[in-house]
Each structure stands twice: as C-alpha cells, then as structure tokens.
Structure 1
C-alpha cells in the first residue's frame, strides 16, 4: 500500500510511524512544506493518559519523548498578585521543535520517506497513492477542497491562548 501524509506536524508524523511500525511493507511518505527539523509554534502538552496510549502503541518513541518532557501535576496561576494552585492534573510538556525532531528521527529509523520544502496544492499530486492523510493543519487545503464530503464544523471563539510552561 502507498500512503501519503500531507503535513509533517505531530499528527502526520505519528500516524506515519505507527502505520510503518504495524505494516513495514507499506510505502509511506510524509510531505511537509517547511524545512527539515524546523517548526512554528511553542510546545506540545499531553495528559498522562495520552502517554500511556503512546507506550502501548510504540514504547520506543514514547520513551524517547517522555525523557525529553517536563512533567507536572500542579498548575499555579499568578494573576494580579494572587496565587492560585491546583493539583492532580498529570500533564507533560515538550517544545514543539524537540517533539517534531523525535518523530522525524523515528520515522526515518523505520523507513518512512520524509519530503520537506514541498508545498502541496491538492491530492491530485499523488495519483498513485492508495491512501492520503490530510494532516496539514487547521487550514487544510484537502479538507477545504472536499468540504461537501467532510462537512467540517469550525467555530472560532474569542478565547486567549495561554502557555503554561517555563522558558
């Protein structure tokens, strides 16, 4: 089977490595528009439950990621001089670039083909693919092209983003 993942973020890379691990005979390519080992964004946060699932499906990748993560159970918010602390959350966080580097390295180790600096305009660029994974983010060109089929439902809210990490 020939599989193409359009988008080399965490979702596309993790899908590719898990599929290659389960089916080494498949030819899997991840196509990313940015440079190799480059990224935009700050960090990735997973719950302890997510890490347990990652250990189940690929212990080697999970171990590498877990060693690089920072773990915390408590969240402390300081707002207008007042400190509020809550416990028992169980989260791990890692810089996005470090996470992508780990996933890229693991993909290469397993034999996944990684193509960088290639901007994909549509699925028709891969006529020999048996399966195309649209992992190209919130503004996916593939999902936009097939809006009538996928019927995405997106609601934009006025929420503010908060990075709960050090450094």
Structure 2
C-alpha cells in the first residue's frame, strides 16, 4: 500500500472535521428565516455601490421557495435562485452565520441587517447599523483580518438573540 493511500483517509477526515466546524448557529430573527427572509443569492446579482454609499435594498424571498442550511431556513425570490443556492450553500450564505461583520471584528456576535450588505472577494457580509457600516468600511481589509481571527472563538457560541435596531423584517412573501 502506498504512503498516499495511508495518508489520504486521515487527511480527508481532518478536512471534513475542520470544515464541518466552520458553520455555527445561523442568526434567525422573528421571521423564522435566515437573512430575515431575504434571498441571499439575489445579492450576487445586484449592482454593488461604491464604499461609502448605501447599497440597494435586499430582495425579499418567498415563503413557498425555501431551503434549509446551517440549521436555518433560507427563502428565495425564485426557484432558479434556490437551485443556485443548493449547488453550494456556503458560497451564498452570509459570512459569520449572518452576524454583523464589524461586530465579529470587535469580538462579538450581533445580528446582521440584510439591507446593510457588501460582497467582498465573492463573500456576502452584513452589518447591523448604518453607523457600523461606516466603521467597517473605513478598513474592510483590516476588519476582515480581525473578524477571521475572532471567529474561531466566537463560532461555537450561540447565535445572537438580539434584534436588529431600527429594522422591521416582514416575513417572506406568500404567493
């Protein structure tokens, strides 16, 4: 038996164990949906505004087009977006399980507002308030470095149970 064949099962097991711990409890608000019922795939089709300017509003999902991932139900605006999500849910789900990227950079889990978003290097990040967006955007790269370092210890902790300030989240549309 070759050394590769002996090493491969151990390596594969290590990779599976390491990646399975990457997703902790998803933030879910009173709607009962991840991202407050907004279509996480749709963000990747929206025009992204420059740093320092407001993003377009998130696209509402539908209650009859959903998929479960990371312990939460995600809603989608179309069956096509649901199908895209199902090909690689981790590629579309908000980073830090839907928690505020700046909050994670500062060492805590607070909710992410689905209308305060930015895609960086192909990943979706949410923040909690417009003031926080300003702080996060002052040094996105540095804040992401801090977030990644902090997330290792924050990930196993329970999801935030806080509400998003000044945000009302209607449940996904029923058709």
Q: TM-score w.r.t. structure 2 length?
A: 0.25
Larger radius of gyration between Structure 1 and Structure 2: 1
The structure richer in helix per residue is 2
TM-score, normalised with respect to structure 1: 0.26
